[in-house]
Chain A
């Protein structure tokens, strides 16, 4: 029984890596995840990652922000302490618009931002789960869980054929843990 936990295919070119993903999938080898130094379009479709729903979150938070401040301003200027300014109406909607707009944007941005951090498990001080240190620099890394029944040599050969510059058999899942 080998002690290998994860097999990593390191590519130095995103096109080769895409080719690698295709090859692995053609051979029914499940891909654990792919780590890249920059966003590569098309991987998410190949790996079957659904479209982000963060846009809906942003919209909902935006509506919440706008409603909140509009209601507050209504409470302040119309209900709680109406001021007589030259006999003009207390409920002066056009004057409420700038604050409503700003808080819609504020809530949309931060609501969406924090949803993003929450859903992708990003927060200050989180232990980085790095499989290969060069994945944030110049290597495009395909990670394959070594638990499956496929012989490790076959996976290695497939990755090499696809153009991997290096194939690693890691005994630990995350190299960043001390």
Chain B
């Protein structure tokens, strides 16, 4: 196992002293095995109030019909599809962290993949609720599936991206769930083996009888790798298909070939922002600063900066192509984003997503926790407005000026949206109470090589190039969980 040592210039992935295998278990399971603290209760109360609002608003929608939303015949798609795309996009970061970073052997994923995957699942649940709500008659959701029926059978139309979306989202949800739960098995077994009584019996059922024998681990690793391999194209396909819901139409502002990659980049962008929003709070509240370190935060900020810039390039491309195509409807749509009645939404979109994230070029900003958190919220807002602008601004003024209209959300629209955030946080807060929020088995893999104490030991043993050591020490300064003073003599 310790056949080779990692280069000293790489930053530690687990900080702190006296981190043993047992300590990892104790630290990570603390919120699971103990009564929740005040911060959790406050969060849970607020979130579940939001979830109640969601139940109320959705019940209202089903009772009075979609007419209770602010839609009209010009803008037939607005907050519902905006919310749907927003949530699906947020889900993408979880798969990116668990699958793509696994393929790239990025070990820093080990301590954030579990909660990011959970986030994926909850975000996709939230997204799916919008689709079902917009059906007005939710039992009709079955008609999305090619089931034999008494009309012929009249099958669903597989030429339509909306049907592709049904397949993409349902596959994405189920595969993510499988990936997440398979990864949870060893950690659930840990809870089981520490527990007593009924608590143990519940986790025993959930653990599928996991023991950690050699053969199970070997098979487990194969399964993880292959699932990562097939989830990677899957996650790219999901948001590509979502973008085709728009791109295959003839609506100005939608009918562009750039949409699939542009949506995927935007999805990863907003997803990482949401991971950042959640984890910066989680690490503080659950005291996991040693596992989710400044290196993780900075790495995520770098991805936010990169994907934000890709999104920026996509915006510029859209504008250029609108100008270059000579298509007057296309040109008007993009002009309308700034000079039309929704100019403020356009400003939110471009300002939050492109201008604000550019400050992350500065290391001071990337490694500043309050600023990172605020920026992650700004990105979440900006990405919501991106979808709103694409959808509503294109629809409200297209080919026929006599049909131009405005969209004004009703309280039901607003409540369904705020409520879905409540549902999401309720699920997430319940998750961190019942399952380990960090993949313990995977973090334990890091202790011998990638932890701060292992690197300190290496430093004390000497035989390292002075230049590399200085570089390493300089990198430690940004960590909020490292006592830099101890390194003066090392």
Q: Which residues of A contact B (CB under 8 A)?
A: 12, 14-15, 18, 33-44, 47, 49, 52, 54-55, 58, 62, 72-73, 76-77, 80-81, 83, 85, 92, 95-96, 98-99, 101-103, 105-106, 108-110, 112-113, 116-117, 119-131, 133-138, 176
A175 vs B233: C-alpha distance when bound (angstroms): 44
Q: Besides A37-B21, A39-B217, A137-B193, 10 other CB < 8 A contacts? A: A38-B441, A76-B146, A98-B241, A99-B163, A101-B237, A103-B171, A105-B233, A122-B210, A135-B193, A138-B20
Q: Is the CB of A102 within 8 A of B178?
A: no
With A122-B216, A137-B193: A54-B209 Cβ-Cβ less than 8 Å: no
Determine which of A14, A41, A129 lies in contact with B211 in the assembled complex, contact meaning CB atoms within 8 Å.
A129
Q: Is the CB of B182 within 8 A of A137?
A: no
Q: List 19 A-B contacts (CB under 8 A).
A: A15-B1, A34-B214, A37-B444, A39-B445, A52-B219, A54-B223, A81-B155, A85-B159, A98-B237, A99-B158, A99-B164, A101-B237, A102-B234, A110-B174, A110-B175, A112-B226, A128-B192, A137-B190, A137-B193
Q: Is the CB of B210 within 8 A of A55?
A: no
With A34-B213, A44-B214: A55-B222 Cβ-Cβ less than 8 Å: yes
Q: Is the CB of B171 within 8 A of A105?
A: yes
Contact string against A for B residues 407-447, beta-carbon threshold 8 Å, 1 for contact and 0 otherwise: 00000000000000000000000000000000011101100
Within 8 A of A (CB), among B195-246: 204-223, 226-227, 230-231, 233-234, 237, 241
Contact string against A for B residues 152-192, beta-carbon threshold 8 Å, 1 for contact and 0 otherwise: 11111111010110011001001100110010011001101
A80 vs B309: C-alpha distance when bound (angstroms): 48
A44 vs B221: C-alpha distance when bound (angstroms): 12
| B side interface size, CB within 8 A | 67
A-chain residues with CB within 8 Å of residue B220 when the two chains form the complex: 39, 116
B-chain residues with CB within 8 Å of residue A14 when the two chains form the complex: 1, 448
B105 within 8 A of A: no
Nearest-Cβ distance from residue A133 to partner chain B, whole angstroms: 4
Determine which of A35, A49, A101, A124 lies in contact with B208 in the assembled complex, contact meaning CB atoms within 8 Å.
A124
Question: In the complex, what residue of chain A is closest to B165 when comparing beta carbons?
Answer: A98
Nearest-Cβ distance from residue B418 to partner chain A, whole angstroms: 32
Q: Is the CB of A116 within 8 A of B153?
A: no
Q: Which residues of B contact A (CB under 8 A)?
A: 1-2, 20-22, 25, 146, 152-159, 161, 163-164, 167-168, 171, 174-175, 178-179, 182, 185-186, 189-190, 192-194, 204-223, 226-227, 230-231, 233-234, 237, 241, 440-442, 444-445, 448
Determine which of A15, A96, A128 lies in contact with B210 in the assembled complex, contact meaning CB atoms within 8 Å.
A128
Q: Is the CB of B219 within 8 A of A119?
A: yes
A35 vs B211: C-alpha distance when bound (angstroms): 7
**A-B contacts at CB below 8 angstroms, number:** 199
Determine which of B186, B192, B215 lies in contact with A44 in the assembled complex, contact meaning CB atoms within 8 Å.
B215
Shortest beta-carbon contacts, A-B, top 10:
A126-B209, A138-B21, A76-B155, A122-B208, A98-B164, A138-B22, A52-B222, A39-B217, A102-B167, A38-B441
B-chain residues with CB within 8 Å of residue A121 when the two chains form the complex: 209
Q: Is the CB of A128 within 8 A of B168?
A: no
Q: Is the CB of B218 within 8 A of A39?
A: yes
A109 vs B234: C-alpha distance when bound (angstroms): 11
A-chain residues with CB within 8 Å of residue B222 when the two chains form the complex: 52, 54-55, 116
With A52-B219, A137-B21: A126-B208 Cβ-Cβ less than 8 Å: yes
B-chain residues with CB within 8 Å of residue A125 when the two chains form the complex: 204-205, 209
